[in-house]
Homo-oligomer: A and B are copies of this chain.
Amino acid sequence: MYLGAIEAGGTKFVCAVGDDDGRVRQREMFPTTTPEETMRSVIRFFQQFELKAIGIGSFGPIDLNKSSRTYGYITSTPKRKWENFNFVGEMSKYFPVPIGFDTDVNAAALGERLWGAAKGTNSCLYMTVGTGIGVGAIVEGRLLHGLLHPEMGHILVRRHPEDGFAGCCPFHSDCLEGMASGPAIEKRWGKKGAELTNHTEVWELEAFYLGQAIAQYILTLSPEKIIVGGGVMKQTQLLPAVRRYVIDFLNGYIQHEAILQHIDEYVVRPGLGDNAGICGALALAKQALGE
Q: Interface on A for B, CB 8 Å cutoff? A: 61, 75-76, 122-123, 139-140, 142-152, 154-159, 171-172, 212, 215-224, 249, 251-256, 258-259
> Is the CB–CB distance between A212 and B146 below 8 Å?
no
> Is the CB–CB distance between A224 and B256 below 8 Å?
no
CB of A156 to closest CB in B, whole Å: 6
> Is the CB–CB distance between B61 and A156 below 8 Å?
no
Q: List 18 A-B contacts (CB under 8 A).
A: A61-B255, A123-B145, A139-B140, A140-B140, A140-B145, A140-B146, A144-B221, A144-B222, A147-B256, A148-B222, A150-B221, A150-B222, A154-B219, A158-B159, A171-B253, A172-B251, A220-B220, A220-B221
| Closest 8 pairs (CB-CB, A-B) | A146-B222, A140-B142, A171-B253, A123-B146, A76-B255, A147-B222, A139-B139, A220-B220
Q: Which residues of B contact A139 (CB under 8 A)?
A: 139-140, 142, 144, 146
CB of A17 to closest CB in B, whole Å: 29
> Is the CB–CB distance between B255 and A155 below 8 Å?
no
CB of A109 to closest CB in B, whole Å: 13
Contact with A253, one of B157, B172, B212, B218 (Cβ below 8 angstroms): B172
> Is the CB–CB distance between B222 and A154 below 8 Å?
no
> Is the CB–CB distance between B155 and A222 below 8 Å?
no
> Is the CB–CB distance between A219 and B253 below 8 Å?
no
> Is the CB–CB distance between B255 and A75 below 8 Å?
yes
> Is the CB–CB distance between A140 and B147 below 8 Å?
no
CA distance A140 to B221 in the complex (A): 13
CB of A74 to closest CB in B, whole Å: 12
Contact with A150, one of B122, B144, B148, B219 (Cβ below 8 angstroms): B219
Q: Which residues of B contact A216 (CB under 8 A)?
A: 155-156, 216, 220
CA distance A251 to B148 in the complex (A): 16
Contacts A146-B123, A251-B171; is A155 near B221 (CB within 8 Å)?
A: no
Instruction: Tell me the nearest residue of chain B to A218, going by C-beta.
Output: B147
CA distance A152 to B219 in the complex (A): 5
